[in-house]
Chain A
């Protein structure tokens, strides 16, 4: 297990690479979800104000 983490000495290069990739992929998903949430909220707000008038 330790050997696996150590990556024969290249751990400082391999693990940050993997971590960065996964982090950015996760961030992109979260960002897309946030945009969807905002779009829906904006639409609901618009509908509410249209109904009010």
Chain B
């Protein structure tokens, strides 16, 4: 999506690697192209994340009536926690970090960390509008989706 915020990381990656498999490879390729994809039903338009059968009706074999399509990349803050403990050594420089549930405008919940200057003040402080920030890791060849509060 044009105008989306992008962070290019030059830090060596010392954390667990993303799991990219047959089912989510198009999603991860979308992130590399700075597009946030959701799995959408072409029969009724319902959106899913991660990939799943549409619940609203019967589906074509191997979900051929569904496809990854670009979403708005925006949503609202549903709930979050603030990690004060680095369970893995790679996160020692990150704590405290906010790990949040984002309710996409298209419906599904996704989870990721919040970045940016605007941070919720406590766990009761939810419902803010958020948008995706693409964090490129060119040396490793993947892009992570972070979110930031925009209102």
Co-complex (A, B): no
Query: Which chain B residues have a beta carbon within 8 Å of chain A's beta carbons?
Result: none
